[in-house]
Amino acid sequence: MINIEKKEFGMYKEEKIYKYELKGENGFQVNVLNLGGIITEIFVKNKEGKVKNVVLGYDNIEKYIDNKAYPGSVIGRTAGRTANASFYIDGTEYRLDKNSGKNSIHGGNQGFHTKIFDVKELENGIELSYTSPDGEEGYPGNLEFKIFYLLDKNRLTLKYEAISDKKTYVNPTNHSYFNLAGNTERNGDEQMLKIEADNVCELDVDSVPTGRFINVENTAFDLRKGSVIKKGIEKGHPQFEITRAYDHPFVLNSVEKGKPQITLFSEYSGIEMKVYTIENTVVIYTGNYLDDMPLFAGENDGNKNNRYLGVAVETQDFPNGINEKNFKTDPLNAGEKYHSKTVYEFNIAR
């Protein structure tokens, strides 16, 4: 049982936006807006027992509107870039909104990050729901979409469910930026990142996966034993000429039950986040252009964010999977239930 408080946060399109404060044990708290399912804060105790916010966010609604960093948002119907803003299902071409050059990114101009969700309070969290109409942003089918934010001791579980009345393409994620130092007291690239992945997806010049894989051995992408993010960026890779730093789908290895695929750690705070997912990839985006975004709340100096201030850990199926045979991504059949689950576990590393 958790405590839930609902507070007015602002106005958007003449509707009131609310923040839902999900309060768990030992100071653990997750705050979520009904706009875009945005996670505005995650509060965790550091090694000194002080409660710190470990995600990047804002204290007013205006900075979330039209924010191209998508901080904390639900991304949908599909995450990442879709090549040429189109795909085929059973011989029919579906054209999406172009909002990343010739491509579509993160569900289009009016993706799930812009939607006002219906909210249902549960014993252990909240359920957010939205019905995306047939043809919205070019996607086929009336899609009934739900995301659950569930708290259990030191764990936040994100569960996604969807069902469509037409065969369609669905691949959502969450776009929170983590900085486990807390309150942005240190830069995000000082964190240690470990990923159980032998391969990453190669990207073309538009940052769209090509369908080919890069083996991580002896490269900046080899995070299997853990590495400070800054060291990997400094080591460099030809792919970084496209992306500036990490912005790649890591192909997750199979792991033993109960073991995380991804671990993020701040030596400064002692906070460790273990991530467990049923998805095939995690897109790691190290906030390569956050210095161009509105100033986040926290301990920032001046009027500009630091580059690499936080790292997005976007668990999902292969981006652009619908267009790449090598990714073996199937559309969602009409009447079939889509399901995805990711767990974020917070601890003090000993």
Cα–Cα distance for residue pair 163/161, rounded to 1 Å = 7
Q: How far apart are CA 143 and CA 338, in angstroms?
A: 10
- Residue 314 annotated in active site: yes
Record the tokens describing residue 281, joined without a space. 């990839």
Q: How far is 253 from 262, CA to CA, in rounded Å?
A: 10
- pTM exceeds 0.95 for this model: yes
Residues 102-149 pLDDT 10s: 999 999 999 999 999 999 999 999 999 999 999 999 999 999 999 999
CATH number of the domain that residue 194 is part of: 2.70.98.10
Q: Is 175 a catalytic residue?
A: yes
List, as residue ranges, the binding site for beta-D-galactose.
175-177, 247
Amino acid 298: pLDDT: 81
How many helices (H) and strands (E) in the chain?
2, 26
pLDDT digit string (tens) for the chain, length 350 residues: 799 999 999 999 999 999 999 999 999 999 999 999 999 999 999 999 999 999 999 999 999 999 999 999 999 999 999 999 999 999 999 999 999 999 999 999 999 999 999 999 999 999 999 999 999 999 999 999 999 999 999 999 999 999 999 999 999 999 999 999 999 999 999 999 999 999 999 999 999 999 999 999 999 999 999 999 999 999 999 999 999 999 999 999 999 999 999 999 999 999 999 999 999 999 999 999 999 999 998 876 678 999 999 999 999 999 999 999 999 999 999 999 999 999 999 999 97
Give the span between the Cα atoms of 90 and 92, in whole angstroms: 6
User: Cα(243)–Cα(60) distance, rounded to whole angstroms?
Assistant: 30
| Element (DSSP H or E) covering residue 229 | helix 229-235
Catalytic option among 21, 272, 314, 324: 314
Angle made by CA atoms 83, 89, 91, in degrees to the nearest 5? 105
Q: Of the candidates 201, 200, 184, 181, which has an alpha carbon nearest to the alpha carbon of residue 192?
A: 181
Which one from 175, 237, 248, 324 is the annotated catalytic residue?
175
pLDDT, position 314: 98
| Cβ atoms < 10 Å from Cβ of 63 | 17
Number of domains in the chain: 1
CB 310 within 8 Å of CB 337:
no
Q: Give the domain range for residue 110.
A: 3-348
